[in-house]
């Protein structure tokens, strides 16, 4: 990409926005880009392998590492299961010049950004083009009743109200266009002057001082 060091891309948006599909396509298309794998204390579901969808820890280990400051962000879901993003896991990849992308909720983005603000992290909000389209997608799933759909739409509106916290907004009208937008964001971020200025100047200034 041209700039030293990796970037942590945080991708948030409403349930039903298509983040899972977009990131799968993005990871298939892009080199030196890896998905961060969250740690969770919930039990593996049938077919889930440790280190693929999640890293499965027991609660005692999670709480011990949490107390030691190992997590960039964490959450407790349904008052029972812990989820979190390991700082060292992401940091090792960024230091090796590998970009990392994570599907994360808005609360998680806010937590990470308190530790690693822009430009170490880049926040991207993904949404369907309209509320009506989001409602259609949620209903087309066929897995949620009307009350659940209404609750998800209300949550989506609350999440959209926070888009001022993000560098980029991607409207997922078609998968192809949205993936292309994500690729463009990644390239543009690596081309920002401040990411590569020191190395760039080091190449040019000695020559300038020598009068060539």
pLDDT at residue 209 greater than cutoff 70: no
Rounded to the nearest 10 degrees, what angle do helices 175-190 and 193-209 cross at? Answer: 40
Domains in the chain: ranges and CATH:
8-200 (3.40.50.300)
Q: What rounded mean pLDDT belongs to the chain? A: 93
| Residue 126 · residue 10 · CB < 8 Å | no
- Quote the tokens at residue 122: 């880049």
Residue with tokens 């209903």: 139
pLDDT at residue 144 greater than cutoff 90: no
- Quote the tokens at residue 161: 């109200």
Helix (H) or strand (E) run with residue 22 in it: helix 19-29
Q: What is the pLDDT of residue 65?
A: 98
CA 2 to mean position of chain CA atoms: 21
What does the alpha-carbon distance between residue 10 and residue 115 come to, in Å, rounded to a whole number? Answer: 13
When pLDDT is cut at 50, 70 and 90, the band that residue 207 belongs to is low
Total Cβ atoms within 10 A of residue 165:
13
pLDDT at residue 187 greater than cutoff 50: yes
Per residue in 59-114, pLDDT (tens digit) is 999 999 999 999 999 999 988 999 999 999 999 999 999 999 999 999 999 999 99
Helix (H) or strand (E) run with residue 29 in it: helix 19-29
Dmax over CA atoms of the chain, in Å, equals 73
Nearest to 17 by CA among 177, 184, 170, 147: 170
What does the alpha-carbon distance between residue 26 and residue 133 come to, in Å, rounded to a whole number? Answer: 22
Is residue 104 left, alpha or beta, with left meaning phi > 0 and alpha meaning psi from -120 to 50?
beta
């Amino acid at each position: 990409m041209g700039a030293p060091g990796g970037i942590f891309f945080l991708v948030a948006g409403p349930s039903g926005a298509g983040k899972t599909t977009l990131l799968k396509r993005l990871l298939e298309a892009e080199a030196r880009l890896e998905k961060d794998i969250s740690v969770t204390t919930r039990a593996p579901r049938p077919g889930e392998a440790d280190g693929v969808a999640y890293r499965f820890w027991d609660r005692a280990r999670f709480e011990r590492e949490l107390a030691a400051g190992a997590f960039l962000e964490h959450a407790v879901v349904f008052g029972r299961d812990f989820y979190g993003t390991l700082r060292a896991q992401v940091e090792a990849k960024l230091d090796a010049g590998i970009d990392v992308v994570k599907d994360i909720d808005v609360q998680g983005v806010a937590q990470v950004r308190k530790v690693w603000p822009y430009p170490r992290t880049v926040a991207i909000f993904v949404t369907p083009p309209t509320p009506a389209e989001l409602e259609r997608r949620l209903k087309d799933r066929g897995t949620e009743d009307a009350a659940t759909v209404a609750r998800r739409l209300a949550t989506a509106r609350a999440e959209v109200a926070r888009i001022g916290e993000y560098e980029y907004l991607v409207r997922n009208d078609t998968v192809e266009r949205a993936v292309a937008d994500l690729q463009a964001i990644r390239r543009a971020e690596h081309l920002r002057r401040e990411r590569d200025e020191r190395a760039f100047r080091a190449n040019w200034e000695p020559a300038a001082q020598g009068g060539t």
